[in-house]
Amino acid sequence: VSNAGVGMAGPLECQSLAAMQSLMDTNFFGLVRLVKEVLPDMKRRRGGHIVVISSIMGLQGIVFNDIYSASKFAVEGFCESLVVQALRFNVAISLVEPGPVMTEFETKLYEEAERADYSRTDPETAEIFTKLYLRNSKDVFASLGQTPEDIAEHTLRVIEAAQPPFRHQTNVAYTPMAALKHADPSGALVTDAFYKLVFKYDAVLRLGLR
């Protein structure tokens, strides 16, 4: 089970390349290093199961999570490419895709975001992040967040499955979001929906979450 991960949220201009590279080294290359270690023996034994804790943000990018989403997209693409070869050797790969999870990981991330320096971006972007994004994110976590124990139970079900699924989303509230993206290959539908949700109907969103 690959579960290592670090987070990053905020305006792109305020994040250093070194921090971005460090995140990718953990979230993506950490997984790659693990798989390189375990896969050869699994192939020799012709049996095994690699379970990867991904994220719903590996399926749909979320505003102000550019680099974190990129790392999870990389995880998804890596596993999607590898799974066909792995199946030839009777090795299963499963992606567990949670939405928000209520842990110290998230608490620390948002505490750091509230204290961060946003002087490297324009005032409008800084205000959108601090006044809209952070406030809405707290409501999302309070309303839709899962516990670590819940994610562990989902992961256990994936491990014990007679035919392990390739993808397993842990929160049904995010199923329409994933479906919306696939409904329109041009991307216009989901982009328009998210734009309106963030910039036009954010008050309705917060009310609904509460």
What is the pLDDT confidence band of residue 205, given thresholds at 50, 70 and 90? Answer: low
- Burial class from Cβ neighbours inside 10 Å (0-12, 13-18, 19+) for residue 209 reads middle
CB atoms within 10 A of CB 134: 16
Number of C-beta neighbours around residue 31 at 10 A: 23
CATH domain 12-206 topology:
Rossmann fold (3.40.50)
Catalytic residue among 68, 118, 174, 201: 68
Active site residue 68: yes
Residue 87's pLDDT is: 97
Strand partners, 2: 52
Q: What percent of the chain has pLDDT over 70?
A: 96
Identify the band that residue 204 occupies on the pLDDT scale cut at 50, 70 and 90: low
Phi-psi bin for 60: left (phi > 0), alpha (psi -120 to 50), beta? beta
Query: For 11-31, what is each residue's pLDDT tens digit?
Result: 999 999 999 999 999 999 999
- Residue 98 gets the label, from left (phi > 0), alpha (psi -120 to 50) or beta, of beta
Amino acid 207: pLDDT: 61
Range of weakest confidence among 18-27, 47-56, 193-202: 193-202
Average pLDDT over residues 97-104: 86
φ/ψ bin of 145: left (φ > 0), alpha (ψ from -120 to 50), beta (otherwise): beta
Res 172: pLDDT: 87
Higher pLDDT, 75 or 182: 75
Averaged pLDDT, 53-64: 93
Residue-wise pLDDT tens digits, 165-187? 999 999 988 888 778 888 898 99
Instruction: Read off the pTM.
Output: 0.89
Of 29-38, 105-114, 121-130, where does mean pLDDT reach its minimum? 105-114
Can you read off the two tokens belonging to residue 106?
């998230």
What is the SS3 assignment for the chain?
Answer: CECCCCCCCCCHHHCCHHHHHHHHHHHCHHHHHHHHHHHHHHHHHCCEEEEEECCHHHCCCCCCCHHHHHHHHHHHHHHHHHHHHHHHCCEEEEEEECCCECCHHHHHHHHHHHHCCCCCCCHHHHHHHHHHHHHHHHHHHHHHCECHHHHHHHHHHHHHCCCCCCEEECCHHHHHHHHHHHHCCCCHHHHHHHHHHHHCCHHHHHHHHC
Mean per-residue pLDDT for 131-141? 81
Averaged pLDDT score across all residues of the chain: 90
pLDDT score of 206:
61
When pLDDT is cut at 50, 70 and 90, the band that residue 210 belongs to is low
